[in-house]
């Protein structure tokens, strides 16, 4: 049932609140993000105005029967969509977040990633496992001005993430962290880092614990951003920890439960990545199809050739299937239903469709599609990461197969 009481409503039936968020984010992306996309990609740098805009942007919009805090009518905080209003957030639904990520990704996948990781991983971990004191302190910061970063991957622990070597040794009321991390999203802009470190390597992954580390902590160093193929405006940096002293009070949740928290957050995070890949692919498709209707060859529009029509129809069908998988997984989360298999399916399929869609769009546009004077090649470059991060495609297939095995 939807909030309007519609029985068995289609997956693309949105509440008033969800439509407001979708439209507001679309406007923000088109008016404020779009003019800076090319520059940010070229410079591998997110503009400060975009980060600031993600924390507070929006219009005064009418809303009938909205349950959100009235401040939502003035400003939609995209970095705090799911954070409760009492901590300064928007207090909207998980599905609203997925719609926001999709709309941002239609214009720029890097901006969508910044929003996605902040909400689905960083904010969610603190909301689910923080003490009331931690929530009051950190969620308020994350809702208004602070970018957060999730630190799990290392040089020797990518897909095998729980083989991490970063250690945290207890010394009185503190822990001393030593080690390094790689491929850390948002690191360049973040002030708060959720660091996974092992307090007892003899216990294996059951010693992994989550620590809240501030950017200015002595011994903590953020390395040079990686020079990447795509999502170039999203910072990805290595981190080093040399005798980093962290108070025991900065442990998030329970000692030794970090691996559980990581798994839980990444399961939801994969739906966010599915939305990012879906939006990216749709944005590329939306740019390319009008071109095929304008370009004349052999006396007629490219779109009038049946061979191209069939390709366009096939891609459009795959996009719709990816959207339904993604929306279904998001609705399952909201309904507190089992969603792990559906999240893996959505992330896997949307990533594959993004790669196919962007590749086809370059072919449909021909030479100009291959040129950096047009945005299609950037969509193509940005799409590749979808099959790699937050669980590579083969890891998603492993998860799906494991759950099917258990089902039968």
Mean pLDDT over residues 220-224, rounded?
A: 98
Exposure class string for 297-330: b at 16+ Cβ within 10 A, else e: eeeeebbeeeebeeebeebeebbeebbebbbbbb
pLDDT tens digits, one per residue of 161-180: 889 999 999 999 999 999 99
Determine which one of 103, 127, 188, 390 is catalytic.
390
The alpha helices in 78-154, defined as continuous H runs, are: 94-107, 109-116, 124-129, 132-134, 140-144
Q: For 12-16, 190-194, 255-259, 319-323, which range has the lowest pLDDT when averaged over its residues?
A: 12-16
Task: Report residue 348's pLDDT band, with 50, 70 and 90 as the boundaries.
Answer: very high
Confidence (pLDDT) at 347: 98
Backbone φ, ψ for residue 56 (5° rounding): -155, 110
> Half-sphere exposure (CA, 13 Å, Cβ side) for 210?
25
Sequential DSSP letters for 145-183: T--EEEE--BTTBSSSGGG---EEEEETTEEEEEEEEEE
Predicted confidence (pLDDT) at residue 155 exceeds the cutoff of 80: yes
Angle between helices 258-294 and 376-383 (to 10 degrees): 160
* pLDDT above 50 for 271: yes
Q: What is the pLDDT of residue 61?
A: 47
Provide the pLDDT for residue 12: 87
Instruction: Read off φ and ψ for residue 222, nearest 5 degrees.
Output: -100, 120
Q: What is the CA radius of gyration of the chain?
A: 21
Tell me how crowded residue 222 is: count the other CB atoms within 10 A of its CB: 19
Q: In three state form, how does the secondary structure of 264-285 look?
A: HHHHHHHHHHHHHHHHHHHHHH
Q: Is the dihedral of CA 66, 67, 73, 79 positive or negative?
A: negative
* Mean pLDDT computed over 365-383: 97
Lowest mean pLDDT of 85-89, 95-99, 395-399, name the range: 85-89
Per-residue model confidence as pLDDT tens digits over 45-95:
999 999 999 997 544 444 555 555 444 443 578 999 999 999 999 899 999
Confidence of residue 360 (pLDDT cuts 50, 70, 90): very high
Q: What is the pLDDT of residue 71?
A: 42
What's the whole-number mean pLDDT along residues 146-172?
Answer: 94
Beta strand pairing status for 148-151 and 192-198?
A: parallel
pLDDT interval class at 5 (50, 70, 90): low
Q: Is 377 exposed, middle or buried (0-12, 13-18, 19+ CB in 10 A)?
A: buried
How many Å apart are CA 36 and CA 46, to the nearest integer? 9
DSSP label at residue 199: S
Per-residue pLDDT tens digits for 275-295: 999 999 999 999 999 999 999
Say which range, 35-39, 55-59, 72-76, 204-208, has the weakest mean pLDDT.
72-76
Overall size of the chain counted in residues: 408
Mean pLDDT (whole number) for 175-196: 98
Check: CB of residue 21 under 8 Å from CB of residue 100: yes
* Phi, then psi, of 331 in degrees rounded to 5: -65, -35
3-state secondary structure of 297: strand
pLDDT band at 9 (very low <50, low <70, confident <90, very high): confident
pLDDT on residue 74: 39
Computed over every residue of the chain, the mean pLDDT equals: 93
* CB neighbour list of residue 164: distance below 8 Å, 6 or more residues apart: 152, 154, 156, 157, 179, 196, 197, 198, 208
Is 390 known to be catalytic?
Answer: yes
């Amino acid at each position: 049932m939807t909030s309007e009481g519609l029985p068995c409503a289609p997956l693309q039936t949105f509440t008033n609140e969800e439509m407001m968020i979708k439209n507001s984010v679309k406007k923000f992306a088109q008016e404020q993000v779009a003019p800076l996309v090319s520059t940010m990609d070229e410079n591998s740098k997110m503009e400060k105005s975009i980060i600031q805009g993600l924390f507070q942007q929006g219009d005064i919009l009418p809303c009938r029967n909205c349950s959100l805090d009235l401040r939502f009518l003035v400003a939609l905080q995209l970095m705090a969509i799911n954070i409760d209003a009492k901590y300064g957030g928007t207090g909207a639904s998980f599905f609203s977040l997925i719609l926001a990520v999709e709309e941002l990704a239609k214009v720029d996948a890097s901006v969508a990633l910044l929003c996605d990781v902040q909400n689905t991983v960083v904010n969610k971990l603190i909301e689910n496992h923080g003490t009331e004191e931690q929530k009051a302190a950190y969620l308020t910061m994350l809702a208004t001005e602070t970018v957060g970063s999730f630190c799990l991957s290392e040089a020797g622990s990518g897909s095998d993430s729980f083989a991490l070597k970063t250690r945290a040794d207890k010394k009185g009321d503190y822990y001393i962290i030593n080690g390094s991390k790689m491929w850390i999203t948002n690191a360049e802009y973040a002030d708060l880092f959720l660091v996974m470190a092992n307090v007892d390597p003899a216990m294996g992954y059951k010693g992994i614990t989550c620590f809240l580390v501030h950017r200015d902590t002595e011994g903590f160093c953020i390395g040079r951003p990686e020079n990447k193929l795509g999502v170039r405006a999203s910072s990805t940096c290595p981190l080093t920890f040399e005798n980093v002293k962290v108070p025991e009070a900065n442990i998030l949740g329970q000692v030794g439960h970090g691996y559980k928290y990581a798994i839980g957050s990444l399961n939801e995070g994969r739906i966010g990545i599915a939305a990012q890949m879906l939006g990216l692919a749709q944005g590329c498709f939306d740019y390319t199809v009008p071109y095929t209707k304008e370009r004349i060859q052999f006396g007629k529009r490219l779109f009038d050739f049946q061979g191209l029509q069939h390709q366009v129809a096939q891609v459009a069908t795959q996009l719709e299937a990816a959207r339904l998988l993604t929306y279904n997984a998001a609705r399952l989360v909201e309904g507190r239903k089992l969603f792990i298999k559906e999240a893996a399916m959505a992330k896997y399929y949307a990533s594959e469709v993004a790669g196919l869609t962007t590749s086809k769009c370059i072919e449909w546009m021909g030479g100009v599609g291959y040129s950096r004077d047009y945005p299609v090649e950037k969509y193509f470059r940005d799409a590749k990461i979808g099959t790699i991060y937050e669980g590579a495609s083969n890891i998603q297939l492993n998860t799906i197969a494991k759950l099917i095995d258990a089902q039968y």
